[in-house]
Amino acid sequence: MSYSNKSSVLFKSLGLVSLFLYIGISLFLSSCSSFNYVTYNRSDTMDVDPEPNYSITLNPRFQEFTSFMFIGNRIENFGTYFNTFYNAQDKFDDGYDEYEKKILSHYSDRVDSIFITVQLSQDAIDDFNAAIEKASKVIQYHKSSSFMDKAVFLIGRSYYYLGDYIKAERKFNELISKLSMSPLLEEDNLYLAKTRMRMDNTSQALESLDKIISTSQNKSIVAEAYQSMAEYYISQRDYTSAIKDYNKSIELSSDNSFRA
114 DSSP assignment: G
96: Cα within 13 Å, side-chain hemisphere: 13
Three-class SS of residue 34? coil
Q: Give residue-wise pLDDT tens across range 212-224.
A: 999 999 999 999 9
- The answer to whether residue 106 scores a pLDDT higher than 90 is no
Q: How far apart are CA 178 and CA 139, in angstroms?
A: 12
Average pLDDT, the chain: 85
- Is residue 116 very low, low, confident or very high in pLDDT (cuts 50, 70, 90)? confident
- Is residue 14 very low, low, confident or very high in pLDDT (cuts 50, 70, 90)? very low
